[in-house]
Structure 1
Amino acid sequence: MDQFYLKNAALYQTYVDKVDPTKPQAHFMNLAPRPTKEAADSSNPNMSIGVRIRPMLADDIASGFPCAVYPRPHDPTAKQQTIDLHDLYNHPRRPRPIFKSSTHKLQHVFDASASTSDVYNEVVRDLVVSAADGKLGTLFTYGQTSSGKTFTVTELQKLAVADLLDRHAELHVTVVELAGNVAFDLLNQRERIAVREDASGTTQLVGAIQHQITDKDQGIELLERAMSFRRAAPTLKNPASSRSHCICRIKVTQPATHTQGFLYMVDLAGSEIARDVTEHGPELMRETRENNVSLSVLKDCIRQRALAATSKKKVHVPIRESTLTKILKHVFDPEENQECKTVVVACLNPSLADVASSKNTLRYAELLGKMD
């Protein structure tokens, strides 16, 4: 597929240059209808979905692949922002490739010029405030490997710690790595821990050490130390790809009122397609399979949780089928009564070579936005 895109890159760019997304055209026949006012008003106030598009890097440009992801101009009055994805299809009965586009609507879209501080101020600060008020807050980033997830979530963690300390909260941090269904404490030299449910059904990280953070510099040092123990390996797409899921849990206590909240900041392992794993050895292939299984369970939980929001019948959400979703139980369990605010940041690689992965990432972000 890469060779097909490279061979037709110039033709593809001529198609893109002619696009006017405001007008109905044949290649936009799959354009999703605009939501009604009733649908927009019924969106979940505790769920916020954002998309961050990383810049085209020098290697992307040098490889010859054009850009495939085009956010439309930001409309501050709209409840949703729009991204267009442009693709080429090789039709066997036509002399030239077919140009088709898909459009995706989400609450927040951050283009390549947006900073991590912009992401924090627009979608994450409210989550931090909620945790400071004694509630549950969850952030997770996901997308294809090399899409900027780890960079984004690591910088957001540092901003969150600084913000919470400015609010005079007492912080205790735990950083856990999930390799398949095995969990390790990254602030205790990757010591293995257990993930179990207690008698009340709450997930506990048994054996994980909680480290108190007393100032911003110490917090940054702790987070960077945790990342130094994280499992990483070179892949075709990324010279230092994260081979695991990473969960940073911050317990937030207000000394004056003794209220206690939790902030979870989750960096999911990058999803990979066949092209990404062609040079993997047996160990990396095993890790890829385990990561993909847990991501598949996560996607099933997203689907079923969205279905549970509209179905009159009881819907089974497979929370217990992976360690990852056990820890994120408070996000997906329809029986969960404790208030939880959730922010999802879907990260995109804008290259045409990765348009299929970008489309899948956006589809699941849209699906997650439908959770009631």
Structure 2
Amino acid sequence: MISRLRSRTRNYMKADSLQQIADKLWAEDNFILVGHAIPDGDCIGSLVGLYLGLTSVGKNCAMFLADPVPPIYRYLAGSDKIQILNQEIMGDTIVYLDCSDVQRIGEKEAGYLKKTKYTINIDHHYTNDVFADYNLVDAGAAATAEIIFNLLDAMKIKLNQDIASALYTGIVMDTGRFNYSNTTSRTMRIAAALLDTGLDLDAIRINLFESRPRKEIQVLGQALQSLAFSEDGRIAWVCLSYEQLTDMNAVEIYPEDIINYTRMIAGVEVGLSFREIEPGIVKIGFRSKNRTDVAAIAARWGGGGHKKAAGARQNGTLEEVTKLVIASVKDVLD
């Protein structure tokens, strides 16, 4: 469903529909598209998919991220057009993709974006705080890429194989290859429509899952060596320090699926990952197997996400943050 907007002091539109957002995109010509920091497959796929769709009908678009595109997504046509957001940027219309709040693009980077007309927020996180002038938030969508598919359809923009590959990538990654419970019949119908464009499924599979750099496997091995459990075995976690990552020359390398190894263990309800991305700054990943709402737990630490998959970033030493977060998870499970 489309999120209802909170009461604000500004004159925000109510219940922005898919068609309202489609009409707004048709009415404007110049766009800045931006995704969240430490981008994942849905972020990149949605960003590139919308960019290719809008530029195919003559719109002027530029894409920005706080961090580089992860190597596994660089096979997507158009991904090479993504720029690093490291200075003030002025744009008529700024479109935020896969961001539950404006700070998700990066605390420093959020201040770089300056609009002259509107902001548009397109997302599927139920924790989204509807921060833009126009908001299209569908918490029932398995991925933001699903919403982009429907948006391009509402705009009557024809999908080509490049657009389809980007959106399929976003959906595949956010559904865990269609394994997670967020996968719906709508998800499968959209995936089928994308396949019908003739996209190269082998290329997608090989690039996403069968071309991992050796360094990435070394990072995975180092993380799994740290695997630890709570006394009752319901919580499992892995940790990587900044020192470990620098010793491996792998600060920018972090396989997205590391945390899934904690959740796949028998008896584990909540899996966690702790990665010190800078000295004193820890990125936390949360995953749940059944009914535990890890987005609510992540919110305690300034993060958010989905009920079964969430994240946060916290200041403090790796040891301190790990201890405190595990204690907060135990409070919920007890």
TM-score category of the 2 structures, normalised to the smaller one: under 0.3
Which has the larger Rg?
1
Tell me the TM-score normalised to structure 1 length: 0.24
* Larger RCO (CA under 8 A, 6+ residues apart): 1
Normalised to the residue count of structure 2, the TM-score between the two structures is 0.26
